[in-house]
Amino acid sequence: MGKVGIIGVGQSAFVRGYPGSVRELAFEGFREAMQDAQISNKDIDASIICSAPEYDKQRSPAGVLAEYLGLTPQPTCYLESLCSSSSMGLRFAYSLVKSGLHDVVAVVGFQKMSEISSAESQERMGRGGDIQWESTFGTMMPAYYAMYAKRHMAEYGTTPEDLALIRVKAASYGQLNEKAVYRKPVTSEMFSDPKSPMSGPVASPLRVGDCCANADGSSCIIVASEERAKAFSKKPVWILGLGSASTAVNLAGRDLFSGLTVAKESAEQAYKMAGITAKDVDVAEVHDCFTIAEMMAYENLGFAKPGEGKELIRSKETYKEGRIPVNVDGGLLSKGHPIGATGGSQVRTIVLQLRGEAGDIQVKDPEIGLVHNIGGVGLYGNVSILGR
């Protein structure tokens, strides 16, 4: 059926407390993507609405948002795979277009996390684990990733100082991203300064500076068939490879604690589909909900051998000028993490990079970009490879 391309991308500013409704929030990302694609609502054949449930009171938000965005009577559906929802939405949009069922599909991701308190938000995130055998005992996201951090440190000699370097990098680029929640500089010294908020303990060995912030935000990706993409866009970005995997919900059912198997498996699938290797990737967006998550991503994606991810950040190889630039938009650590919108925001960054439209964070002449988006504590993994 030909290639499948991305012709429009958009996102709202990610903020700590959006004053409007969920539908108004979703419209902000959708509007930017539609302006980017320079198409009208009647050109969209179907929509996929992505978020994690239970952060607002609206059941079946797809119908509500599709109506507000002017996408009825076209078909719509609601899709969730926790934090990787909109990357999974991209996978389904690709399938709908590749099959010939639709020519143009909008993937809209959103989350208004400020509808509930931080404590309630953590409780809902914890229920991303098994509510019968695991999350009932009070496990929450920082504690889960802290266990991975401890294992990585024990196995490979990774240090808290190595993790701090990842946050320092994120902040250096977050300052340049007008849509990021956190736009302040961060130094390694802040992690050892008891007066700095960055040094506050969360779940040992993770500190406040090692953790991303909750946020409200939306994103949108417009996916089109090759014929429509060439007709609508002067710079379509093509979907070259897609990988997806899942694993045991309970950590007791897993056999790797220094990395995420879903990331490794979905990366292998995506590389094979695209006909490339990790060495061919010019710029990447990885799911850095915690600093240890980015460290593990370096290794799971093949940018470094197991245990050698720390060498990449120590030598600044993941900076914009390095061998493999990673999260040069500030990542989740700076942008914030509105669950359903995160994957779409990552895709937006890579699309802009491949078009040469990323401004101050532009990597030199990239041809292939990668998006790594994880749902839950390594429960779902999605890797998307895009090319110009």
Q: Which of 152, 287, 337, 372 is catalytic?
A: 337
Cα separation of 190 and 116, whole Å? 30
Query: What's the residue count for the chain?
Result: 388
Q: How far is CA 342 from CA 81, 82, 212, 299, in A?
A: 12, 10, 12, 21
Q: Which of 50, 83, 220, 289 is catalytic?
A: 83
pLDDT for the residue numbered 138? 79
pLDDT for the residue numbered 131? 82
Question: For the chain, what is the largest distance between any 2 Cα atoms, rounded to a whole number of angstroms?
Answer: 59
Classify 155 as helix, strand or coil: helix
Q: Could you tell me the residue ranges of all domains in the chain?
A: 4-117+219-232
The CATH architecture that domain 4-117+219-232 belongs to is 3-Layer(aba) Sandwich (3.40)
Strand partners, 357: none
Active-site annotation holds for 211: no
Concatenate the DSSP letters of all residues of 74-129 into one string.
Answer: S-EEEE-BTBTHHHHHHHHHHHHHHTTS-SEEEEEEEEEGGGS-HHHHHHHHHTTS
Active-site annotation holds for 337: yes
Q: What is the pLDDT along the chain (388 residues), one digit of tens a residue?
A: 799 999 999 999 999 999 999 999 999 999 999 999 999 999 999 999 999 988 887 889 999 999 999 999 999 999 999 999 999 999 999 999 999 999 999 999 999 999 888 888 878 877 778 888 888 887 889 999 999 999 999 999 999 999 999 999 999 999 999 999 999 999 999 999 999 999 999 999 999 999 999 999 999 999 999 999 999 999 999 999 999 999 999 998 999 999 999 999 999 999 999 999 999 999 999 999 999 999 999 999 999 999 999 999 999 999 999 999 999 999 999 999 999 999 999 999 999 999 999 999 999 999 999 999 999 999 999 999 999 9
pLDDT for the residue numbered 139? 81
pLDDT for the residue numbered 117? 83
- Check: CB of residue 183 under 8 Å from CB of residue 177: yes
